[in-house]
Structure 1
Amino acid sequence: MKLIFKNIYPIYFLLLLLFSVSCSTDEGVYVPIDERIGALPEFVIDPVDNPTTSEKVELGRKLFWDPVLSGNFDVACATCHHPDKGWGDNLARSIGVGGSGLGEVRTGGAIVDRNANTIINSAFNGIDVNGNYDPSNTAMFWDNRVSSLEEQSLEPIKSMPEMRGNAYSEENAIAIVSQRLANIPEYVTMFNDAFGSPNAIDGDKISKAIAAYERTIIANNSRFDQYARGDVNALTSFEIRGLNSFLEMNCTACHGGPMFSDYELHDLGIEDDGINDNGVNGKFRTPTLRNLSVTGPYFHNGTFSTLEEAVNFYNNFEQNDEDAQRLNFDENEVDAIVAFLRTLNDENFDKTVPDGVPSGLSVGGDIN
């Protein structure tokens, strides 16, 4: 049953909505308002082999912010995924090793081919229209090349432009970083607390700790989520108009489910000027539409700076993918759609920056 919300709610429709929401919230999980979209779950699912513990999260937090994981001790995970930048970096394409500064003022160094995905709600990656997902088998990166947060967390450590530089080979990166951590007594204690003592530090444990930390970066109570859970006053009539347009134009063909992404690869014909990056045969993963206000610029190479530009693109692009459709909407609808997209924002996510890291290096890398 497709439910399209209108500006005036007939009493029978409102009762139907509230009945369906009350049934769903009893389960404490995903709440639909339409068969194609819905609220995020209230709780995160952990992989069977990596249950979350406070010790593991705290270890992951330190690792995420510590540039000891980079070849030249100058880049941390947080360099390109910082809470002040929506857990991205607000750059069209990230600047990795050798760079200096944070976000828009970062200069020098190696330029990465792609835009940094925010880690906000990455715990829910791969969630389908029914609210189901498997944290051990989901989609990561713009090309879906790995299938869990655990796998994802090690890839930047091995990447030359992102964190490794030319300090050592990709094949040796994880072993060398593991040995560095083993030489720091505080890390030895933290790994033992998180995984049992005594316990050798290795890539598996590094990945599990970082992933456990990333699963705490959640923003699942946007005004849209509140609306989907039954608060019919959470959105304005103008925002509801944008929601209606979003549904009627079938934007959910690619941007469906509670994360507003099908997590599939599509070719939109975005030009990559001077970049040797063709994704997967010209295709890149559908990004989430959540928290767009703090996670621009948009698309895999940061082509568009504003939401208005990104929405207007779908009126004009060359259709290279059968699932990606020109919207052909009236330009007057752009503001309403953008207003609706902004209701997916929830800035009540963890923005904590640790006071220090066990290596004694600069927290977050060379970002000051």
Structure 2
Amino acid sequence: MTKTWLSGLVTGLFVPLAALAQELPPPLSDADYLPVNPAEAMLGQALFYDPILSGNKTVACATCHHPRFGTSDGVSLSIGDGGIGLGPARRADPDDPPEQRIPRNSPALFNLGARDFTVMFHDGRLEADAASPGGLRSPLDADMMQGFASVLSAQTMFPVLSRDEMAGSYNENEIGQAVRQGRITGPGGAWDLLSQRVAQIPDYAAQFQALYPHIDTPSDIAFTDISNAIAAFIAFEWRSDTAPFDALLRGEVTFEGAALEGLALFYGSAGCATCHAGQFLTDHGFHAMGTPQIGPGKSATFEDHQRDDGRFRVTGRAEDAYAFRTPSLRNVAVTGPYGHAGAHRTLAGFIAHHADPVAELQNYDPAQALLSGAVPDDFAILQTPEALQDIAATVGVPPVALSPDDIAALVAFLGTLTDEASLAGRLGIPETVPSGLAVP
């Protein structure tokens, strides 16, 4: 697909070819996605919505990744274990509150079954790597990397081991206790205990035995089998390639007005496509953009700070300080708040920040965040001049002059990435799950 269709007068807007700094990507096809077994996806659907995989049996994958909120949860920073409700209405359980918020924004799940997606999480701590054990690279031990069918499957091992996401505290349940004691793999480890829970449910046991040839009895079900099924569901359910932008790439439609103007800015003078490149509008790289930091930050048990050093925590390289992964922009209009900590509730606000990160960081208004029960501590980093200077010093991009009309046009273009079919999903939300627990 060439750029020639952009030349000419469209509703009074002239878009010269020279204004585009980057070619439009080719349209997506089946070849861009890994194949999915529909029966495996159906099993994964039940597991994705079933709280049986959380320590206290109160949190499912869908709690923080719900289709009602664009496969995220509509808030800056989630409340996992110890929360009540869903989405922006979720709040801390007064009888059993969480120890802290989840420190990073819940990412959307669209197109994670595509071949391009080989890196997971805001800091990229999980990557496909043929030279590493199990074909995966992560901060976890090598023996934990075996048996996952894909990097998408392997990412499920992190939330079930997180106290604040799904595991719960060590004094609340056997999963949280096993995690605290470092018992993850092997008999009696956290994954084994979760697998036993699933295996003891006849409906699940029958489905696993029918689906996987290596499972002869319920006791053969491993955590990797559970995660592989969940990955199949995510890949099947939220494939997104039927948005108006996709129709444009296939030559089936043209854009007019603000959407056309925004496209020209995105691929031209605004420079968005420098990082938001390719069919999924991401280079899968890591960039320091001075994004405001809110919430508890990322720190080890022995550390006492609220910073989130981003990619630096994975690589240890100074140049990776405060760098975070470029997100895909598919369905971006419905997946806010934005940024690794969800500091901006509006897309226009986030675009304005990206246009001039250093100035916007200094002038950030905490009211742009969307937090349940916000407390002053949520903004500790932003109230520390030295921390702001450190973050601003890592920004390596020059400011871009964008008028309010330019930002509105970019928002209009990004709206063409909204794919109603993927938002609705293909299997949908089940009314019940085999455990009998409440579906989020």
Q: 2:324 aligns with which of 278, 284, 295?
A: 284
Tell me, what secondary structure is at the counterpart of 1:210?
Answer: helix
Tell me, what secondary structure is at the counterpart of 1:271?
Answer: coil
- Please tell me whether the aligned partners of residues 253 and 323 of structure 1 are also in contact (alpha carbons under 8 angstroms): no
Partner of 1:27: none
Q: 1:202 aligns with which of 222, 242, 245?
A: 222
| AA of the residue aligned to 2:434 | P
| AA of the residue aligned to 1:114 | R
- Please tell me whether the aligned partners of residues 36 and 252 of structure 1 are also in contact (alpha carbons under 8 angstroms): no
Partner of 2:110: 120
Counterparts of 1:3 and 1:154 in 2: how far apart (Å)? 43
Deviation at 1:270, TM superposition (A): 2.0
The answer to whether residue 242 in structure 2 is matched with residue 169 in structure 1 is no
Partner of 1:21: none
Counterparts of 2:400 and 2:26 in 1: how far apart (Å)? 22
| AA of the residue aligned to 2:406 | E
- Please tell me whether the aligned partners of residues 75 and 337 of structure 2 are also in contact (alpha carbons under 8 angstroms): yes
Q: 1:334 aligns with which of 407, 420, 428?
A: 407
Deviation at 1:187, TM superposition (A): 1.0
TM-score, with length taken from structure 2: 0.70
Tell me, what secondary structure is at the counterpart of 1:353?
Answer: coil
- Superimposed CA distance per residue, residues 180-208 of structure 1 (whole angstroms, 9 cap, x where no aligned partner): 11111111111111112415111221111
1:157-196 correspondence to structure 2 within 5 Å? 157-166=160-169, 167=173, 168-170=177-179, 171=184, 172-196=189-213
Number of residue equivalences: 328
Partner of 1:142: 122
Partner of 1:355: 431
Tell me, what secondary structure is at the counterpart of 1:175?
Answer: helix
Deviation at 1:315, TM superposition (A): 2.6
Counterparts of 2:86 and 2:417 in 1: how far apart (Å)? 25
Counterparts of 1:316 and 1:307 in 2: how far apart (Å)? 15
Q: 2:37 aligns with which of 33, 53, 56?
A: 53
| AA of the residue aligned to 1:182 | A
TM-score, with length taken from structure 1: 0.83
Partner of 2:155: 152
Partner of 2:143: none
- Superimposed CA distance per residue, residues 130-151 of structure 1 (whole angstroms, 9 cap, x where no aligned partner): xxx356xx01111111131011
- Superimposed CA distance per residue, residues 23-42 of structure 1 (whole angstroms, 9 cap, x where no aligned partner): xxxxxxxxxx9635343334
The answer to whether residue 334 in structure 2 is matched with residue 294 in structure 1 is yes
Deviation at 1:6, TM superposition (A): 2.9
The answer to whether residue 352 in structure 2 is matched with residue 312 in structure 1 is yes
Partner of 2:283: 262
Partner of 1:35: 23
Deviation at 1:334, TM superposition (A): 1.2
Specify whether residues 273 and 81 from structure 1 end up closer, same or farther in structure 2 by C-alpha distance, changes over 3 A only. closer
- Superimposed CA distance per residue, residues 53-102 of structure 1 (whole angstroms, 9 cap, x where no aligned partner): 22211111111011000000000001111111111101101110011101
Partner of 2:13: none
- Please tell me whether the aligned partners of residues 54 and 160 of structure 2 are also in contact (alpha carbons under 8 angstroms): yes
- Please tell me whether the aligned partners of residues 23 and 267 of structure 2 are also in contact (alpha carbons under 8 angstroms): no
Specify whether residues 34 and 230 from structure 1 end up closer, same or farther in structure 2 by C-alpha distance, changes over 3 A only. farther
Counterparts of 1:297 and 1:317 in 2: how far apart (Å)? 17
Counterparts of 2:32 and 2:202 in 1: how far apart (Å)? 32
Counterparts of 2:252 and 2:393 in 1: how far apart (Å)? 39
Specify whether residues 7 and 241 from structure 1 end up closer, same or farther in structure 2 by C-alpha distance, changes over 3 A only. farther
The answer to whether residue 230 in structure 2 is matched with residue 213 in structure 1 is no
- Please tell me whether the aligned partners of residues 85 and 295 of structure 1 are also in contact (alpha carbons under 8 angstroms): yes
Specify whether residues 5 and 316 from structure 1 end up closer, same or farther in structure 2 by C-alpha distance, changes over 3 A only. farther
The answer to whether residue 377 in structure 2 is matched with residue 346 in structure 1 is no
The answer to whether residue 9 in structure 2 is matched with residue 6 in structure 1 is no
Which has the larger helix fraction?
A: 2
Counterparts of 2:116 and 2:331 in 1: how far apart (Å)? 22
Counterparts of 1:106 and 1:187 in 2: how far apart (Å)? 29
Counterparts of 1:88 and 1:144 in 2: how far apart (Å)? 18
Counterparts of 1:275 and 1:188 in 2: how far apart (Å)? 39
Deviation at 1:7, TM superposition (A): 5.7
| AA of the residue aligned to 2:36 | T
- Please tell me whether the aligned partners of residues 356 and 398 of structure 2 are also in contact (alpha carbons under 8 angstroms): no
| AA of the residue aligned to 1:304 | H
- Please tell me whether the aligned partners of residues 253 and 324 of structure 1 are also in contact (alpha carbons under 8 angstroms): no
Counterparts of 2:49 and 2:81 in 1: how far apart (Å)? 15
- Please tell me whether the aligned partners of residues 80 and 166 of structure 2 are also in contact (alpha carbons under 8 angstroms): yes
| AA of the residue aligned to 1:95 | I
Counterparts of 2:153 and 2:398 in 1: how far apart (Å)? 34
Deviation at 1:266, TM superposition (A): 1.2
Counterparts of 2:393 and 2:6 in 1: how far apart (Å)? 33
Deviation at 1:320, TM superposition (A): 4.9
| AA of the residue aligned to 2:212 | F
- Please tell me whether the aligned partners of residues 268 and 320 of structure 1 are also in contact (alpha carbons under 8 angstroms): no
